[in-house]
Amino acid sequence: MKSKKYIGFFTATSIVIANMIGTGVFTSMGFQVMGIHSGFALLLLWVIGGVAALTGALCYGELGAALPRSGGEYNFLSQIYHPTVGFLSGWVSATVGFAAPVAASAIALGSYLSRVFPSFNPMYVASCIVVLLTVVHVSNVKTGRGVQNFLTTLNVIVIFGIIVFGIFSARTGSVHFMPAQDAIKDILSPAFGVALFFVSFAYSGWNASTYITGEIDNPQKNLPKSLFIGTMLVLFLYVMLNFIFLYTVPLSEMKDAGGNPVVDIGSVAAVKIFGETGGKVIAVVISLLLLSSVSSMIMAGPRVTQVMGEDFHLFRFFAKKNKNNIPFIAILAQSCITLFFIFTSTFEAVITYIGFTLNLFTFLSVLGLFVLRIKKPGLSRPYKTWGYPITPIVFLCMGGWLLVYGLMYKQTESLAGLATVGIGLSVYFLDPARLVQNKVNKTEK
């Protein structure tokens, strides 16, 4: 019996937006200003990150329409290169690729709420949120879809509100936005490269709807549209929101008394714009925005594990679905890993090194666009990448630069990411019957 497809264009787009707008944009600026003081250079960071995400989304639109199956990079890499490469991507996504960001967003949510309600323990709040949303998404796809659409709509409205009120508020920031000599110096500095890792993490999620391609109605049409429109909207919101942060908050107030970066930059800016009471209200609202991010990742991530379970004997139990056609075991497994990160507080280190690892697989996926056109020129492509071949080349240049920079200047995190891939390779060869049904080999060539 053919599975019903409940996810339309609006929901797919909302998943992209909600996966992107999360912890990164509300926590990064304090870290970036530690080494960069030019407003022009700081905003350029977010433009570069947005261009990388947009070019990646355009490329993934073609891949997703040509290879319409859930799983994201796992599906693409398995069919373009070899099931081993796809498995390694799925391994990273299933173990830490989604669970760590979910934990980070949940704890950030708890931290924002604790500023308003000091008696709240961020860890307990985070764990309760994860458990609650897990129950929602395990229960019913339609319920999960409704929750997702509501939270994402609220997300965009609130950020627009902060931007509009911020523009008309008194300027109290201390940076200059016109390009000058100090901007060039900042752009060429190592700190600019380090800051791009924060931006890359903030934009991660632009490929979210490719993980649930199998559940999207008319994916050949709705998937590319959701990727492009969702990413474009987030690019605009990110640049404008960070402009407001810099416009309203002096650089000196982006550090705490100990000289450490202020994490909850959104709360600091809200106090400048709306006053103390308004700042607390916005802190609660930002918590709702983070709730949207947690919800979308809990919804999208387990679909990778589900597809791995369909293909690999060792993980076959992850493919099991409940009466509502939901991969409940995969969702529960991801949430258990998330709770582990929350209670052990190791999620920060994981997020640092996972950035390198995820960039590795998105790089291989976009490179696969060229490989697939050469290997299967006759493959049906309902959507073709706009600007090809320039668009994928731009993405590969940016992604390749980040990978090289990571190996040069972030060796510990990069090597840890490669070690994670190595462990996944070992697990792959432990499976005596690796492919239960190798759909890759059955695909028409």
pTM: 0.79
Q: Check residue 354 and give its pLDDT.
A: 76
Q: Check residue 418 and give its pLDDT.
A: 92
Q: Is the pLDDT of residue 5 over 90?
A: no
Owning domain of residue 308? 13-442
Q: Is 4 within the bounds of a domain?
A: no
- Band of pLDDT at residue 441, cut at 50, 70 and 90: very low
Q: Check residue 432 and give its pLDDT.
A: 62
What's the whole-number mean pLDDT along residues 409-433?
84
Q: Is 5 within the bounds of a domain?
A: no
In the block, which residue shows the tokens 């432990």?
A: 430
Q: Check residue 120 and give its pLDDT.
A: 86
Q: Is 144 within the bounds of a domain?
A: yes
Q: Check residue 44 and give its pLDDT.
A: 94
DSSP annotation of 435: B
Per-range mean pLDDT, top range of 5-14, 223-232, 267-276 = 267-276
What's the whole-number mean pLDDT along residues 86-102?
83
Percentage of the residues of the chain whose pLDDT score is greater than 70: 89
The CATH code of the domain that includes 257 is 1.20.1740.10
Q: How far is 203 from 47, CA to CA, in rounded Å?
A: 11
Q: Check residue 363 and give its pLDDT.
A: 95
- Band of pLDDT at residue 443, cut at 50, 70 and 90: very low
Per-range mean pLDDT, top range of 8-17, 238-247, 289-298, 316-325 = 238-247
Q: How far is 203 from 45, CA to CA, in rounded Å?
A: 11
pLDDT in tens, 371-414: 999 999 888 888 788 889 999 999 999 999 888 888 887 788 88
Q: Check residue 129 and give its pLDDT.
A: 93
Q: Which ranges of 21-173 does DSSP label H, i.e. alpha helix?
A: 23-27, 29-32, 39-66, 73-80, 83-92, 99-116, 122-139, 141-167
Q: Is the pLDDT of residue 1 over 50?
A: no
- Six token digits for residue 227: 């990727």
Which amino acid belongs to residue 44?
Answer: L
Q: Is 86 within the bounds of a domain?
A: yes
**b (16+ CB within 10 A) / e for 401-434:** ebbebbeeebeebbebbeebeeebeebbeeeeeb
Q: Check residue 105 and give its pLDDT.
A: 85
Higher per-residue pLDDT: 354 or 243: 243
Q: Is the pLDDT of residue 367 over 80?
A: yes
Q: Check residue 349 and give its pLDDT.
A: 65
**Which is nearest to 361 in space by CA: 11, 115, 107, 72?**
72
Q: Is 6 within the bounds of a domain?
A: no
pLDDT in tens, 125-142: 999 999 999 988 887 656
Looking at the structure of the chain, the number of domains it has is 1
- Band of pLDDT at residue 369, cut at 50, 70 and 90: very high
Q: Check residue 373 and give its pLDDT.
A: 94
Q: Is 176 within the bounds of a domain?
A: yes
Q: Is the pLDDT of residue 80 over 60?
A: yes
- Band of pLDDT at residue 437, cut at 50, 70 and 90: very low
What's the whole-number mean pLDDT along residues 68-96?
84
Q: Check residue 351 and give its pLDDT.
A: 64
Question: DSSP string covering 148-180, please?
Answer: HHHHHHHHHHHHHHHHHHHHTSPP------S--
Q: Is the pLDDT of residue 143 over 80?
A: no
What's the whole-number mean pLDDT along residues 15-20?
78
**Which is nearest to 429 in space by CA: 308, 305, 309, 314?**
314
Q: Check residue 45 and give its pLDDT.
A: 93
Q: Check residue 191 and give its pLDDT.
A: 83
- Band of pLDDT at residue 3, cut at 50, 70 and 90: low
What's the whole-number mean pLDDT along residues 30-48?
90
What's the whole-number mean pLDDT along residues 176-181?
79
Q: Is 8 within the bounds of a domain?
A: no
